[in-house]
Structure 1
Amino acid sequence: MANSSSNPAPKPYRQNHTKQGGVKRVSKKLKKKPERKSWLVSAIALTVLMGSGALVVTFAWISIQFILNPYQVGWLNKFLPGWAQFSTTGEERPHTLKQIQGSLKEQGLEAGQIFPLKGDTASSFLLPVLKKHSNCQSDCQSIVELRVYQRSKELEVKSNSEKYYRLASQLPVVGPEESFVLAPFAKTTDEDRGSSLSLPLNTVGRFEGETPSSGVWFYLRSDRQEGTSLIAYGIVVYYNSDRSLLQFMLPWTSPNGHLPEWRQVTGGGNKELIVDRTVGLEPQLKIYQAQPVKYFLNPIELEEIAFKQPTLKHSVYRDALLLARSGLWTPALERLESLKKRQKKLFSPLVQSQMDAIRLHSQVTKTQATTIWASPSQEVLADIIDGRWEKALQVFKASPQNAQEVSSLLKADGDRIWKRVETELQVNPKRQSVQAWGALIVAARLGKERANTWLSQHSPIAEDTITYTQGLIELLDGKDPQCEPSHAESCEYNTGF
């Protein structure tokens, strides 16, 4: 007997009886289920989830800081009623300025000169905290901390005639590393200088005049003697008055001892911060814009106007940035100005800011190129830095004495010029004067034969250029004695031939 459970009876079809008594077979159709959630609902749910996660993280951070470092969340008092405000010092009562100074002395520290934040020091002020160093001959005090104090509004001291203050924010101070401070010299000499040791800072100043944002900008600085240069270096600090928070912004260094300054560069409405890192005739201007960022505690940062990442897919624009990176600021500016006349719509605010920063450098190199120099070698160098290759050749050819002095320049400082030669020939390979300068550098460092070889291998180059350049090479005083065959490899490496 067959097992009935293994072969279940098929389910009967539904039957509809017609008026004639017949049976109508009706097939069962599957209906598609509607989608329960649309992509919009999913997106909203994901947004809510991420927002909730961010809030949880923020509240967790605030809670931890409230327990461990209450001064870091002192800005919350601005959003709390008077009865709910808390002390950020971790102590029961606020203090007078004398009490604050006395407390620091007990810790082996000293209070520096105070700076008002709004009007005078009655409502709030910045206080540098100093520490003395033993076994030193000069600058025996350095800044180890910055503090912001605000006038206390707590009920128990309102009836007191003395002014009481509470600690609103504090920022530990660490100076820039020695290698950073000496970096501008390394760029001009191809030598690594300095260490990772942090250098001390001993002076605080406030940027006066119009500055971006509603807060207060400060600089910390010190000086260091390096050869014949007195270097100024330090850090820039911003006090966010809306959050009652001190914020480290960036380190800075200036080989010529200039302080950073806020100046209108791009014409975008706000001033830019300029750090002058110029060494000799090489203009190095770091230009920073204050940009808003989506971060609640520190909603502002300084962003450098850079020339590394092209934002336009245009050959003239890319060539201009290439020239700027090699230090040929005026030729770079000329190409950008020409492009803007033809296609102004391509110039976004970012591209325009790059062009304005290049113009600022070009103003420096143009001034140097039009200066009357007592030394022919300095005049040649100023002309080449500004892209005046033909004018520099005229100075070189003016007399045998000029040629010999320029030959010494090419031996000692040929790397800087060679970098510009390579870049200019990459952009304009047929320019005769630049080809001539390339051959002169090779001849001054490696001899006339190597210069002729370089000329013959360089393409494209015309026969009249070879003849013209060989005549210039004859004006040089011969091969560099340091670049004899035994040292040829190092000379080739240094010049990139």
Structure 2
Amino acid sequence: MANTSRSSKPINKGQTQPNTKVRKLRTKIKKSKNNLKHKTAPTKGIRSYSRHRQKAKKRKTLATSMFVAVTLLSSAGMVIAIGWISILFIFNPQMVSWLNPFLPEWAQITSGSKKPHTLKQIKAQIKRQKRISGKILPLENNTDESFLLPIYLDRKNCNSDCKYIVELRTYQRATDFEWQSSIEKYYHLTNNFAVTGPEEFEVIAPLVEAGIEENPGSTIALPVTEIKRFEKDAPKSGIWYYLRGNRSSGSNLTAYGYILHYNLKRRKLQTMISWTSPTGDLPQWQQVTGDGDKELVIRQTIGLEPRLRIYQTKPSEFVINPITLAEITLKPPALKDRAYKNALLIARNGLWTPSNKWLQFIKKQQKAKITPAAQAQIDLISEHSQLTKKLADTSWASPSQQVLAYLIDGRWGEALKVFEALPQNPAEIRNLLKSDTGRIESRIDAALEVNPNRSEVQAWKALIIASKQSTNQGYYWLKTQSNISKTSQTYIQKLLAQI
């Protein structure tokens, strides 16, 4: 039996079967797909960079959104917290007393541990401390809503002024409902500070400068024994007080102390300046510069030598007490004008009246240029000039005192007339010039500095040299001065012959 086949067609030699061709074609297609799949495209780097930027942008947007959300949540939290603190501050302030370290002293919240007390309780506590309650000084329109209380200690082994002030306190009536509704009045302590008097060397400084006290003084604090309110002429910006003590030395009674100011808005008591007066005069408020408020005047005149310290009230940047006392001084000159500077130069050396005359002339000539600071200096000089003029116009029994009063006021010619009227007894004037500690000679030198050609001043310069050194030295000085005329030299030589 003949063999049968699946294909009826015979297979020629060298010819590939159809199934084999299909397989090869499929293999090629598969390879092409694989090649295309793994082949690196020329734009692959650009596409990768673009995808990276998009991802970064998405991250940045997400971070911004989160930051805005956190900020809004924090702000809302702060608003809620501040609102809650405000409510507590109004209805129960003691619950927020932890804020005190972050608040100024005047705004601090009274904690529960600092509860108010009655006046009886306050005095009892002071007594337990072995101290003495002083006289109550009312604050704020003299009502019992607030008051100042000085506290004293006793000095041992003393004959007078045995009590001295060691502390000052101010109290304000409690306004809390709990205490306000009580029959008795309760008070919160609003200020308290220790009081230490000024040191001795500071108190006697004017006496040392005048040569009355030889000992310059110690650093021992002197006691203050009195506190009083300025009832008259004080500025209306708050309440003004003075603390006072006294120091006796021979026939001299020196008063000293402090000036205090109470700020009504801040309820703050503060020390402003210390003061001393070798004549025992209390500080006074008086009109000096013509401003709205009067000035504080402290008198330190000793003998014929006038000295005033004058203070103006000025605004201050200090929040708790935005007011200060600024002393009017002659340095630096308030105007750059040369004549004005020369006028202040002779005033600083004690020639108050010549300086005042000069300044009044300058004021007329340059009225538009006179600033408030310059006017204050002019007024300070005018106040001193009034004192020296009054002393010079007084008839003195002693020729030397009369000469001294004239020289202090710059009346050179009138002083020479008194000297010339004593040809038989010049020793009194010679002793006056010889014992001069500088107040006469400094005036002479200042006058010669601004006008070296004035013969009356030249004469007194020669006389003071002759008195302090020798007559020959007076003649020698006279010969060395080229700006002295022959007529003046002859006149001064006759004066030197008398000394």
Question: TM-score when scaled to structure 2?
Answer: 0.77
1:362 counterpart = 2:385: yes
1:135-150 equivalences in 2 (<5 Å): 135-150=157-172
Q: Distance in 2 between matches of 1:333 and 1:161?
A: 63
Query: 1:212 & 1:92 partners in 2: Cα distance?
Result: 34
Count of matched residue pairs: 403
Superposed counterparts of 1:2-401, under 5 Å: 66=100, 73=105, 75-76=106-107, 86-87=109-110, 91-189=113-211, 193-400=216-423
Q: How far 1:371 sits from its partner (Å)?
A: 0.6
Q: Quick check: 1:290–1:303 contact (8 Å CA) kept in 2?
A: yes
Aligned partner of residue 241 in structure 2, secondary structure: strand
Q: CA deviation at 1:112?
A: 0.8
Q: Distance in 1 between matches of 2:118 and 2:494?
A: 81
User: 1:295 corresponds to which letter in structure 2?
Assistant: F
Deviations 1:67-112 (A, max 9, x none): 59x9x72x327xxxxxxxx437x73531121211110111121111
Higher share of residues assigned helix:
2
Give, in angstroms, the shift of residue 400 of structure 1.
3.3
Report the Cα offset of residue 313 of structure 1.
1.6
Shift of 1:198: 1.5
Q: Read off the aligned partner of 1:446 and give its amino acid letter.
A: Q
SS in 1 for 2:438: helix
How far apart are residue 266 of structure 1 and its match?
Answer: 0.2
In the TM superposition, what whole-angstrom CA distance separates every residue of 1:476-497 from its partner, at most 9, and x where no partner exists? 2xxxxxxxxxxxxxxxxxxxxx
> How far apart, CA to CA, are the structure 2 residues paired with 1:206 and 1:396?
50
* Map of 2:439 onto structure 1: 416
The 1:65–1:235 alpha-carbon spacing in structure 2 relative to 1, beyond 3 Å, is farther
How much does 1:397 deviate?
1.2
CA distance in 2, matches of 1:249, 1:310: 25
Unaligned runs of 5+ in 1: 1-61, 78-85, 477-497
1:139 shift after superposition: 2.4
SS in 2 for 1:434: helix
In 2, are the aligned partners of 1:183 and 1:193 still within 8 Å (CA)? Answer: yes
Q: 2: distance between equivalents of 1:65 and 1:172?
A: 26
Q: Name which of structure 1's ranges 165-174 and 301-310 shifts more when overlaid on structure 2.
A: 165-174
Alpha-carbon distance in structure 2 between the residues aligned to 1:303 and 1:441: 38
Q: What amino acid is the match of 2:107?
A: L
SS at match of 1:336: helix
CA distance in 1, matches of 2:223, 2:312: 27
CA RMSD of aligned residues (A): 2.1
**One-letter code aligned to 1:255:** P
Name the stretch that deviates more: 461-470 or 273-282. 461-470
The answer to whether the 8 Å contact 1:171/1:247 transfers is: no
Cα distance, 1:138 vs structure 2: 3.0
Distance 2:373 2:316 in 1: 17
Q: Which runs of 5+ in 2 are unaligned?
A: 1-95
**One-letter amino acid of the structure 2 residue matched with residue 181 of structure 1:** V
Larger radius of gyration: 2
Deviations 1:222-281 (A, max 9, x none): 111123211110010111111111111000000101000110100011100001011111
Q: CA deviation at 1:64?
A: 9.4
| Distance of aligned partners of 1:257 and 1:451 in 2 relative to their CA distance in 1, 3 Å threshold | same
Q: Displacement of 1:157 after TM fit?
A: 2.2
User: Is the contact between residue 115 and residue 126 of structure 1 (CA under 8 Å) also seen in structure 2?
Assistant: yes
More displaced stretch, 189-198 vs 247-256: 189-198
Q: CA deviation at 1:170?
A: 1.8
- Deviation at residue 367 of structure 1 after TM alignment: 0.5
Q: Is the contact between residue 125 and residue 149 of structure 1 (CA under 8 Å) also seen in structure 2?
A: yes
Q: In structure 1, the residue corresponding to 2:189 is in which secondary structure? A: strand
Letter paired with 2:484: I
Q: Deviations over 1:274-301 (max 9, x none)?
A: 0101111111100000100112112111
The 4+ residue runs of structure 1 with deviation greater than 4 A are 62-65
2:427 to 394, 404, 425: 404
Q: Distance in 1 between matches of 2:98 and 2:313?
A: 30
Match of 2:453 in 1: 430
Identity %, equivalent residues: 48
Deviation, 1:461, is 1.3
